[in-house]
Amino acid sequence: MGTSTPGRHGEERARRTRSGRRFPRTGTEPATARSPLGLRLILSGVFVPVFVVSAVLFAVWAADSGPGDSPGRGPLIVLAVVCGVLAFLAAADLLVVVRRLRRERGSG
């Protein structure tokens, strides 16, 4: 009768924390689950320049708008700020994804 050691697979697939300690799997997550790092890399790489260009264009448009123009200066400034924040978040995600990919591949 084949008896399995319950801790064996848990130890093989244990997760590491930042301090280097290992915790056994809980059994609730899929054994083959992987983060979609490639997709996140592509999306962040595409949207960083899109949001940066959009923020610059909205800022220039806001600077050139007059008192009676529609849309007014206020909404254009809000759009420029929102695009700037989204560019920052996409760039931060890009850095996180690159760091994780280097760590997975063992080159960093």
pLDDT tens profile 56-78: 999 999 999 988 888 999 999 99
Q: Tell me what pLDDT residue 58 has.
A: 97
Backbone phi, psi, residue 34, to 5°:
-135, 145
Q: pLDDT over 70 for what percent of the chain?
A: 68
Helix (H, G, I), strand (E, B) or coil at 75: helix
